[in-house]
Amino acid sequence: MLAFFDERYLHVLAPVMLEIEAEARGTDYGSVSWSTRGQVERMATHLDLGNDSRLLDIGAGAGWPGLYVGQRTGCHVTMLDFPVHGLKLALDRAARDSVAAHASVADGALLPFSEGVFEGVIHSDLLCCLTRKLEVLAECRRVVRPGGRMAFTVIEVVPDLAPDAHTIAVESGPEFVDTESPYADVLAETGWTLSQVEDVTSEFQSMGRTLLQSRESRREALVALLGAENVEEMIDRNWGTVASTEEGRLCRRLYLVEA
Ligand SMILES: C[S@@+](CC[C@H](N)C(=O)[O-])C[C@H]1O[C@@H](n2cnc3c(N)ncnc32)[C@H](O)[C@@H]1O
């Protein structure tokens, strides 16, 4: 999964990728998650940050959504991820937008920060890309100050599916979409209070369709950039995700929580 993202950030600002991103996501950060501008606005409202606040974006990629929140609120943004190229793009974008930011190459399950140093934490479809979900949520809780807030989105398998449908959902979603326990339980276990959960599956579904059409219509340019095999795999996976979402096997939720 991490090699996949390493490779992905090398191309996210290529013209064809930016065209697809603008059409499907309405953003221009080189984003690879499914958070729309509207969802990030709601996340930012919940985080309630000002220009003296510090925000941590885990799995920040090329800077979406942390830098957007930084520009909107004036807060300082710390962006954490593994792929160095993505973080370099993020720092360039921060400089261009005059957002105070720095980057850290580290594991979200082992944060290199002291207790209580952030007012807010944000992550976009991070938890379905890793196995150590409980450790990440516990680390987020440790580094946020008392009363601090977190906002995140995640793709999930719809609960209580028949075993066959569950298997299809897991195969068609992000690599680590499956969970041992519901996120609400893991949040409670790691010391978070749930303020609100929003089901954003229908937006996810329509974005999936738009992304697919957008990729299909630029197949030739994508093949020239990424190679035929990678494009086939990307479009096949895209179809699988859209089908699983439309057939009620995958959902996507937005969680707003408080320390
Ligand atoms: C779905 S992408 C989202 C990227 C970016 N926030 C965006 O919206 O475009 C998930 C990101 O999480 C990162 N990631 C995966 N496991 C991680 C971990 N253990 N610690 C930190 N980041 C991780 C990946 O490298 C990837 O950049």
**Contact between 28 and 21 (Cβ < 8 Å):** yes
What's the pLDDT at 199? 98
CA atoms within 13 A on the CB side of 157: 24
Per residue in 141-174, pLDDT (tens digit) is 999 999 999 999 999 999 999 999 999 999 999 9
Q: Note whether 49 and 75 are within 8 A (CB).
A: yes
Q: How much is the average pLDDT of 230-253?
A: 94
Q: What is the pLDDT of residue 6?
A: 80
**Ligand 1 atom closest to 174 (CA):** 1
How many Cα atoms within 13 Å fall on the side-chain side of residue 77?
34
Whether 3 shows a pLDDT value over 80: the answer reads no
Tell me what pLDDT residue 46 has. 98
Answer whether the bond into residue 65 is a cis peptide, omega within 30°. yes
d(CA 127, CA 27): 21
Question: What is the CA(31)–ligand 1 centre distance, in A?
Answer: 10
Predicted confidence (pLDDT) at residue 248 exceeds the cutoff of 80: yes
- Amino acid (one-letter) located at 228: A
Q: DSSP states of 190-238 as a string?
A: TT-EEEEEEE-HHHHHHHHHHHHHHHHHTHHHHHHHH-HHHHHHHHHHH
What residues flank ligand 1, with Cβ below 6 Å?
Answer: 2, 5, 31-33, 35, 58-61, 64, 80-83, 86, 107-109, 124-126, 129-130
Quote the CA–CA distance of 129 and 90 in Å, as a whole number. 20
pLDDT of 1 reads 58
Q: Report the chain's mean pLDDT, rounded to a whole number.
A: 96
Strands 250-258 and 101-105: unpaired
User: Quick one: DSSP state of residue 131?
Assistant: S
For residue range 170-183, what is the model confidence (pLDDT) as tens digits? 999 999 999 999 99
State mean pLDDT over 42-63: 98
Whole-number pLDDT of residue 4: 75
Q: In the predicted model, what is the mean pLDDT of residues 1-11?
A: 80
> Mutation test of ligand 1: which of 129, 136, 207, 252 has the most ligand atoms closer than 8 Å to its C-beta?
129
Q: Where are the alpha helices (DSSP H) in the chain?
A: 2-9, 15-25, 37-47, 66-73, 84-97, 133-143, 163-172, 183-189, 201-217, 219-226, 228-246
pLDDT value of position 66: 98
Determine the Cα–Cα distance for residues 182 and 187; give it in Å rounded to an integer.
Answer: 9
95-123 mean pLDDT? 98
Q: How far is CA 151 from CA 12, 75, 77, 154, 194, in A?
A: 24, 15, 14, 10, 10
**Ligand 1 atom 1: the closest Cα is on which residue?**
33
Record the pTM: 0.96
Q: Which residues contact 120 (CB under 8 A, 6 or more apart)?
A: 47, 48, 49, 53, 54, 55, 56, 69, 75, 144, 148, 149, 150, 151
Mean pLDDT on 79-83: 97
Residue 189's pLDDT is what?
98
One-letter identity of residue 134 = L
Confidence of residue 13 (pLDDT cuts 50, 70, 90): very high
Which residue's CA lies nearest to atom 11 of ligand 1?
A: 59
CA 103 to chain centre: 17
Per-residue confidence (pLDDT) for residue 2, from 0 to 100: 62
- Ligand 1 centroid to Cα of residue 4, in Å, is 11
Q: Which domains does the chain have, with CATH numbers?
A: 2-258 (3.40.50.150)
Question: Of all atoms in ligand 1, which is nearest to the CA of residue 29?
Answer: 9
The pLDDT, as a whole number, for residue 5 is 81
User: If you measure from the C-alpha of residue 223 to the centroid of ligand 1, how many angstroms do you get, rounded to a whole number?
Assistant: 24
94 pLDDT more than 70: yes
- The distance of Cα 94 from the centroid of its chain, to the nearest Å, equals 18
CA of 217 from ligand 1 middle (Å) equals 27
